[in-house]
Amino acid sequence: MEVSATTLNLVIKLCNIRKKMRWQIRCNYFTSEGEAVFNILFYDNYTSALKGEIDFIQSSEEVLAFRFAGYEGEKAENLTDLLLDLINYEKSFVLEK
């Protein structure tokens, strides 16, 4: 099972914005239709606290569920859109300084 290069690049970009996060991607389970459901976990580098989590179907990159500390936007249907929204959210903290 593979995750797209675009997804990996966006996850890396998201974590590099403030250099305070690390990430982990894993396959959680397979649906009854045989589709792989992946989970991306985001951790704070200093406290190891879970900062965010995204569950998505690998083949279509449809987002099933997500939560991300402080983010109150609506759930995007597509993983790429959600990661771009989170990147903009994280950049807003950098611009405020």
Ranges of each domain in the chain: 5-96
Interval 31-62: pLDDT, tens: 889 999 999 999 998 999 999 999 999 999 99
Rounded to 5°, the CA angle 60-61-67 comes to 150
Over residues 54-87, the pLDDT tens digits come to 999 999 999 999 999 888 888 788 999 999 999 9
User: Which of these, 94, 72, 97, lies nearest to 85 by C-alpha position?
Assistant: 72
Helix boundaries (H) for the chain: 5-16, 79-96
pTM, full prediction: 0.88
